[in-house]
């Protein structure tokens, strides 16, 4: 999950100009805090999408019950090349500069 998080977001606007090691540390921290329930109680409705031929993680939707006792989407991603949202957002950001 940590590697898939990194591969999804390393080239996104959220991590613009971040050093690679800091993005990897953020990915590790984000996933670990979710499963350690630091942001809320994990929900069984959370899902992973796996590539049928290789078993590689291609998407993730993690839900939890937050501090206000409400269901919340904590993390959502679809790894490139399966989802092209980051590429599209990067292209838009590049066009504005």
**How do residues 60-95 score in pLDDT, each as one tens digit?**
999 999 999 999 999 999 988 776 655 555 554 555
- Per DSSP, 17 falls in state T
Predicted local distance difference test score (pLDDT) of residue 92: 47
Q: How far apart are CA 96 and CA 59, in angstroms?
A: 29
Q: How far apart are CA 70 and CA 91, in angstroms?
A: 35
Predicted local distance difference test score (pLDDT) of residue 81: 78
pTM confidence score: 0.78
**How do residues 3-60 score in pLDDT, each as one tens digit?**
999 988 988 888 989 999 999 999 999 999 999 999 999 999 999 999 999 999 999 9
Q: Angle at the Cα of 57 (from 51 to 60), degrees rounded to 5?
A: 115
Judge contact between 58 and 82, C-beta under 8 A. Answer: yes
């Amino acid at each position: 999950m940590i590697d898939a998080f990194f591969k999804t977001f390393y080239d996104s606007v959220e991590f613009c100009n971040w050093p690679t090691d800091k993005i990897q540390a953020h990915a590790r921290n984000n996933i670990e805090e979710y499963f350690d329930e630091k942001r809320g109680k994990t929900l069984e409705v959370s899902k992973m999408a796996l590539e049928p031929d290789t078993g590689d993680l291609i998407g993730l939707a993690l839900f939890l019950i937050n501090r206000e006792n409400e269901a919340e989407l904590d993390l959502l991603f679809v790894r490139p090349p399966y989802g092209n949202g980051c590429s599209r957002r990067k292209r838009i950001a590049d066009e504005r500069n």
